[in-house]
Structure 1
């Protein structure tokens, strides 16, 4: 993978100090340039297509890739990014509640139904008594994982918990599952030590899984509340440059690329 000058991409690690090194220009935003934070891998590949579409409309998208979910909103809030595109509404809501970010969505991108994977069993029903099950440790994706497991009968959850249940809201656990709350990006690496785990699709694809064939159970693709979107600082939401940015992604070329490359594992959300 080419890392530098044709696409001017830069990689950010998990250390917050790297965020503050992302360009000294701060929050300055040229009318024809957007510094956009995305998760590296398949989402970055999709944005490379959108970047070419944008260039034809006079918009230069500079992609800055991250390896996990922890930093892009902080980078956006601090002015080191102009926009990011990696999260769904429940995740942003939890980040706003925890950190007070003034960040808003401006246009949907994709939806990646989350799934349950295992290297030890072949069917979800075969989970043993006392199974160790990994789930993401952030509130929105952890809640998403628990709702998936409840939808497939492994557990029951307290009524009214909505999209953000926690393990404390599990009211019935007939198989005595032991939940391991783990960093979402690390779950694929830890899967051999677990009986199974709920893994976000971008990390599953990055680990070589095929969601269509390897996920033992998966979210529905219809009426899914976890559509990802482009987000900007609230003060910037009406800037014309972001209408161009959204249009560059919500484009037939991008939709065709998603369908051809991912065949349903990732879908357009607009």
Structure 2
């Protein structure tokens, strides 16, 4: 339960506890980041409706409306692990009520979409942590060719690995790029180029088959994140491939299935435990 006397002393500057003051309500994501930073350090308070003015803290209060309830309901979905916190309204004398959130220090590391934040000298610092790559999973990028996607995924699973297909993963209100960042901590990725779109240069008459734009984008993203040698570009059919991604080797997704042996060898070279008997 929130202690009104402690909150009053925080506002008056009589109590030395980590505290963040806000004249108005913040977004759910901003609040979650601050809460995570407090939880990863020594805990702290967030006071909404309190303004710092000329060396003193002034209570201006907040309107009690549905928006705040909506924001607070959204916050738990932003944590990878939800920290211990409580919140509520407190009225200081005759002023309008303020909204208070108390965050306790966590024994576990609290992450926001895979990112760790800490509080240093009352400032939020994003801690850069090197994530371990998961060598039991393979990230698969695909277009609209469901048959090709399923064939690659089932092959990966036959090798005893987990196929990570983005749309099958939980969204938790993340954007597409945030989902890619979260689920691509893998040792290897397979990008499937299939003729799902058509395009041509200005002035040309003939259209060429192309992969979807998301496939090309995710291909480049993955090369930057896990390294070019750890990404295989698998091409199905007669399709135009990007010519400005240097050093990329395109593997033909032939009907005979020779591509499977090539990918298995690449996975082995990347550090995966592969039993080649499972290819047959």
TM-score, normalised to structure 2's length? 0.20
Q: Rg bigger for which structure? A: 2
* Larger helix share, 1 or 2: 1
